[in-house]
Amino acid sequence: MMNEKLSVSVQVADEQVKTALEGIISDTKDFMVSQPRGLDYLDFLIMELDENNPTKTFSQIEANLKGFPQTDIFLTCQTIDAPTLLNAFRIGVKEFIPQPLNRDEVQQIFVRAQEKHQGCSVPTPSQKTKGRVISLLGGKAGAGVTTLTVNLGVSLQNLGKSVVILDLNFHSGDVPIFLDLQPTRGIFEVARNLARLDDAFLLSCLTTHSSGVSILSLDEARPPKIGDKRTDKITSSTMHPLLELLEGLFDYILIDCGTVLDERMVKIFEQSAMLFVLYTLRLPVIKKTQRLLEILDEVGYPKEKRKLVLNAFVPEAEALMLETESIFDTKVFVKIMEDLPSANTAVNSGIPMVIGAPKTVVVKAFQNLAYFVIGKKPPKKKKELKSILAVFSLTGVREIWASLQGKWISPKVNPNISQEIKT
């Protein structure tokens, strides 16, 4: 429980916007508006972007963060492009508040901020907690493992949990790209120095994103070359002490396992509290996922610990999804809607969808999954027509509109695909 309210100062030139923000803050539980007496007294500072001279605003933000790192800075403005927003997050801005203001959205931002404030966003060797290992495995390349890992990690961090992402996808190693990070040390450095592995050394090998999520990736922001012998040093005997240390430093350890299921990964799964298996409704992916699940059965991995995640789902493929559930003898735990524009923008900009596209239905799925992981129910929100329509992909909306006009557009789903899967 919090003994004192969190203080927020609003530095916005537009008096109408400033008054509105201060009113929302005053009406939000556990927050109060504070007139600036110096940033050392502040928990949060809302700054307005100078749209004509963003560099000037960024210089002020950097100076504030350098002198008062305990103050979280939020940015607000009417218009901002993706590169400018990316730069803002790079230098340490925690949240972006778009204008015109939406009261519910602003309050939700502060609810997240409060949860972060109560959590442990920057672990230190003295802050020992027993973390939970969660592994993510894809049926085939392109199933969306890295996308889910990164966005689930940021969602958990937004709920006040400390998170580290361990990138064990040696074929691509894309976690740094998805977060626009350039690590210089990582898991290969750990493997070379097992004898000196302790909390302090391990923390020195991590790279931290502006969201607070840490990553332990390859030693550089690119996958190893073919024949790179360093991957041979990443064995189960390497991973066990590494994961034990990470469990003592972070609330959650998310492991991007790529699409390879070998003895090393099986050992990691044994140490995991949960395993998410991702697939899409493409025939090669379905076949490969079926084989992965069979292998997990063969090695005796408990069914109750693994959760099936269907990615890139579109409503017209519901029948095919049910068919795959029958084939896998496993129910889909969560469906993540297809949203290629948001996904592509996120990868190209290095801004996770949870940050760059927070209103999308895809992000809602990530956030709901984060609540499941921590054992809480997602907060209920008012149902709005736009949120209902957003459940459908662009194709689904097109079909609904056509049906209203009396012109039904038939979904393009191969009726023989279930037979193809079984053969």
What confidence tens digit (pLDDT) does each residue in 54-66 have? 999 999 998 888 8
Sheet with 214-216: list strands edge to edge: 207-208, 214-216, 163-167, 252-256, 132-138, 274-279, 306-313, 332-337
pLDDT digit string (tens) for 212-258?
A: 999 999 766 555 566 666 777 787 778 888 999 999 999 999 999 99
Please report the pLDDT score of residue 282 as a whole number.
94
Residue type, 286: I
Q: Is the pLDDT at 362 greater than 90, yes or no?
A: yes
Q: Is the per-residue pLDDT at 2 higher than 90?
A: no
Q: How confident is the model at residue 39 (pLDDT cuts 50, 70, 90)?
A: low
Closest CA to 90 of 393, 397, 356, 394: 356
Contacts of 73 (CB under 8 A, 6+ apart): 44, 45, 46, 47, 61, 64, 65, 92, 93, 94
Pairing of strands 214-216, 207-208: antiparallel
Q: What homologous superfamily is domain 132-385 in, according to CATH?
A: P-loop containing nucleotide triphosphate hydrolases (3.40.50.300)
Sequence letter at residue 108? Q
Which helix (DSSP H) or strand (DSSP E) does residue 277 occupy? strand 274-279
From residue 315, alpha-carbon distances to 319, 321, 391, 394 in Å are 9, 10, 9, 10
> Does pLDDT of 329 surpass 50?
yes
Would you state the pLDDT for residue 67?
A: 78
Residue among 151, 417, 135, 153 nearest 292 (CA): 135
Region of poorest pLDDT, from 43-47, 69-73, 99-103:
69-73
Closest CA to 162 of 208, 117, 121: 121
**382: pLDDT strictly greater than 90:** no
The pTM (predicted TM-score) of the whole model is 0.66
Least confident of 1-5, 49-53, 337-341: 1-5
Question: 8-17, 282-291, 404-413: lowest mean pLDDT where?
Answer: 404-413
Tokens of 47: 């700054």
What pLDDT is attached to residue 16? 93
Residue spans of alpha helices (H) in 68-121: 82-91, 103-118
Q: How confident is the model at residue 1 (pLDDT cuts 50, 70, 90)?
A: very low
Q: Which range is least confidently modeled, 164-168, 231-235, 276-280, 295-299?
A: 231-235
Tokens of 176: 């740094």
Q: What is the pLDDT of residue 223?
A: 56
- In DSSP notation, 128-196 reads ----EEEEEEESSTTS-HHHHHHHHHHHHHHTT--EEEEE--TTT--HHHHTT---SS-HHHHHHTGGG
Query: Can you give the pLDDT at residue 25?
Result: 92
Percent of the chain past pLDDT 90, that is, above it, reads 49
Q: Spell out the CATH class of 6-118.
A: alpha beta
Domain ranges of the chain: 6-118, 132-385, 395-422
Kindly indicate the confidence band of residue 389, based on its pLDDT and cuts at 50, 70 and 90.
very low
Question: In which residue are the tokens 């990164």 written?
Answer: 150
Q: What is the pLDDT of residue 393?
A: 44
In the structure, what pLDDT confidence band is assigned to residue 392 with cuts at 50, 70 and 90?
A: very low
Torsion of CA 313, 346, 111, 273, to 10 degrees: 60
Quick one: average pLDDT of 148-154?
A: 97
Cα separation, 349 vs 179, in Å, equals 9
pLDDT at 390: 47
pLDDT at 237: 75
Residue 20 pLDDT grade (very low, low, confident, very high; cuts 50, 70, 90):
very high
Pair 213, 179: CB distance under 8 Å: yes
Q: Of the ranges 28-32, 111-115, 194-198, 333-337, which one carries the lowest mean pLDDT score?
A: 111-115
Mean pLDDT calculated for residue range 92-101: 88
Q: What is the average pLDDT across 302-321? A: 95
Q: Which of 207-211, 254-258, 310-314, 370-374 has the lowest mean pLDDT?
A: 207-211
What does pLDDT average to over the chain?
83
List own/partner pairs for 383-386 with CB under 8 A and 24 or more apart: none
Tell me the pLDDT band of 419, cut-offs 50, 70 and 90.
Answer: low
> What is the spatial distance between Cα 258 and Cα 142, in angstroms, rounded to a whole number?
9
Which position has the higher pLDDT, 289 or 30?
A: 289
pLDDT at 147 over 90: yes
Q: What is the average pLDDT across 156-173? A: 90
